[in-house]
Amino acid sequence: MKNVTVGEFIVETQNTFPGSSGELSKILSAIKLASKIVSHHINKAGLAKDILGSAGRDNVQGEDQQKLDVFANDTFINALSARGVICGVASEENDSYIAFDDKVNNDAKYVVLMDPLDGSSNIDVNVSVGTIFSVFRRISKQGSKVELADFLQAGDQQVAAGYLIYGSSTMLVYTTGTGVNGFTFDPGIGVFFLSHPDMKIPEDGKIYSVNEGNLAHFKQPVKEFIKFCQSEDTSNQKEPYSSRYIGSLVADFHRNLIKGGIYMYPSTKKSPNGKLRLTYECSPLAFLIEQANGRAISESGRIMDIVPSELHERVPYFVGSKNMVDQLEQMMHREDWKFQEKN
Ligand code: AHG
Ligand code: MN
Ligand code: MN
């Protein structure tokens, strides 16, 4: 089989869009470059000073920023601003969006939203982490400074989304709305090769991923669904599903995408909106999963339909194999179980 690099793939697919200006390709290329730098840096964690541990400050969401959060954030922002192909970026690690307010960038038509380092709490223990990104066409006028409204669009409006997983190998998985493709990084030559063409999540899965330590605080339908996952029903040949939870959304998502399964970060009594961020985490992975034949919902319905009201908004999140999400959704809508606070 011919080895296709991500660069070649981007150019080939770009040519299928009539009138394409190549800007999206340049954004993907900037992401590719930044990810190589971050991947290289992560691989040195434990050896080099100044990689592991806390940066000694909190982000706007009150979370302890890790040195690698800051490094990844700076690296992606620098790569994206240098190309002159986006007018601004919003990151989980910044209080507000950043406007690249100069002539070249103001003329650009896209914005990027990102979680530069997902799974921060796993960095120090050598467990997979990732980067999640999302690209939108701006709604404000080209040539002007980017505005908040450009970043607060429903997931449905995304033109591209993807993630990097820095795992046993580094992979780039992305969509531009015509399916999902995965590329594996060959560190020897510094190139991503197409390794997972046209990824589809199995319709049914046998893995459920949730932080079960929070079980007592979940609402009843979610508890009932977890009970179902654990149950055995010989008449239907239903065996208990496997519980798999890494604690890095990207890594849990990636495994479930390949094997089939459901990932859940439900609301709890303490966190009524769950933990995950709509714009940086939930929406991009929702776009990917839908392109791979799966589903992503919140308690209120389809993730991709939600219009964010603020940058760092959180939502309860359920994503994965279609039939598993369907089943959970049916349980959510059972009148007698409807989000009662009963434990
Ligand atoms: P981040 O490191 O970007 O803040 O994201 C952490 C998220 C996500 O990656 C993961 O699935 C989830 O937090 C884990 O949360 P719990 O430790 O509460 O299970
Ligand atoms: Mn994250
Ligand atoms: Mn993060």
For residue 121, which atom of ligand 1 is closest to its CA?
Answer: 2
Which pLDDT score is estimated for 1?
55
Whole-number Å distance between alpha carbons of 271 and 71: 29
For residue 119, which atom of ligand 1 is closest to its CA?
Answer: 2
- Output the ligand 1 site: residues, CB below 6 A: 63, 92, 115, 118-120, 211, 247-249, 275
Which pLDDT score is estimated for 18?
64
Residue nearest to atom 11 of ligand 1 (CA): 249
Which pLDDT score is estimated for 334?
87
Report residue 268 as tokens.
Answer: 């709890």
Distances (CA, A) of 121 to 53, 69, 249: 9, 10, 11
Instruction: Output the CA 248–ligand 1 centroid distance in Å.
Output: 6
Instruction: For tokens 């960038």, name the residue.
Output: 105
Report residue 201 as tokens.
Answer: 């999540």
Residue nearest to atom 16 of ligand 1 (CA): 247
Which pLDDT score is estimated for 343?
42
Instruction: Output the CA 212–ligand 1 centroid distance in Å.
Output: 13
Instruction: Output the CA 249–ligand 1 centroid distance in Å.
Output: 6
Choose the residue to mutate in 249, 262, 277 for probing ligand 1, maximizing ligand atoms within 8 Å of C-beta. 249
Using CA of residue 44, residue 45, residue 46, residue 50, what is the dihedral sign?
A: positive
Which pLDDT score is estimated for 337?
76
Instruction: Output the CA 17–ligand 3 centroid distance in Å.
Output: 32
Task: Give pLDDT tens digits along the chain (343 positions).
Answer: 578 999 999 888 887 766 677 899 999 999 999 999 999 999 887 666 677 777 777 877 777 778 899 999 999 999 999 989 999 999 999 999 999 989 999 999 999 999 999 998 888 888 999 999 999 999 999 999 999 999 999 999 999 999 999 999 999 999 999 999 999 999 999 999 999 999 999 999 999 999 999 999 999 999 999 999 999 999 989 999 999 999 999 999 999 999 999 999 999 888 899 999 999 999 999 999 999 999 999 999 999 999 999 999 999 999 999 999 999 999 999 877 766 554 4
Residue nearest to atom 19 of ligand 1 (CA): 211
Instruction: Output the CA 199–ligand 1 centroid distance in Å.
Output: 24
Residue nearest to atom 15 of ligand 1 (CA): 247
> Are 88 and 146 a contacting pair, CB within 8 Å?
yes
Instruction: Output the CA 170–ligand 3 centroid distance in Å.
Output: 17
Whole-number Å distance between alpha carbons of 19 and 160: 17
Q: Which ligand is nearest to the CA of 277?
A: 2
Which pLDDT score is estimated for 228?
97
What is the 3-state secondary structure of the chain? CCCCEHHHHHHHHHCCCCCCCCHHHHHHHHHHHHHHHHHHHHHCECCECCCCCEEEEECCCCCEEEHHHHHHHHHHHHHHHHCCCEEEEEECCCCCCEECCCHHHHCCCEEEEEEEEECHHHHHHCCCEEEEEEEEECCCCCCCCCCHHHHCCCHHHEEEEEEEEECCCEEEEEECCCCEEEEEEECCCCEEEEEECCCCCCCCCCEEECCHHHHHHCCHHHHHHHHHHHCCEHHHCECCCEECCCCCHHHHHHHHHHHCCEEEECCCCCCCCCCCEHHHHHHHHHHHHHHCCCEEEECCEEHHHCCCCCCCCECCEEEECHHHHHHHHHHHCCHHHCCCCCC
Q: Which ligand is nearest to the CA of 64?
A: 1
Can you give the pTM of this predicted structure?
Answer: 0.95
How far the first Cα of the chain sits from its last, in Å, is: 55
